[in-house]
Amino acid sequence: MSQAPDVQILADHSALLAIPAFAPAILVVAVVIWVARRDRRLEAEEAEDATPSGPSAAADQDGTP
């Protein structure tokens, strides 16, 4: 099947027009994920630091086991 010689097929640029709409949303999602991962990592480090370890870990405040 061939097309008539006077028909011009134009490109559809809707994807290019959508980029300015989706780019800020993708950026916001990326920042939220980054902050959440950072907070979880810092929280895990704080929990690790707060957990007593060593021979005095099993002892109470006054030193009794």
Q: pLDDT tens for residues 1-58? A: 566 678 777 777 787 888 888 889 999 999 999 999 999 999 988 888 887 665 555 5
- DSSP SS3 for 20: helix
> What is each CA distance from 17 to 14, 21, 27, 63, in whole angstroms?
5, 8, 17, 70
User: Is 31 among the domain residues?
Assistant: yes
User: Is 52 among the domain residues?
Assistant: no
Domain that holds residue 37: 16-47
User: Is 41 among the domain residues?
Assistant: yes
- Both tokens of 32, joined, read 């939220």
The number of folded domains in the chain is 1
Q: What number of CA atoms fall less than 13 Å from residue 37's CA on the CB side?
A: 6
User: Is 6 among the domain residues?
Assistant: no
User: Is 59 among the domain residues?
Assistant: no
What pTM did the predictor assign?
0.52
User: Is 23 among the domain residues?
Assistant: yes
User: Is 2 among the domain residues?
Assistant: no
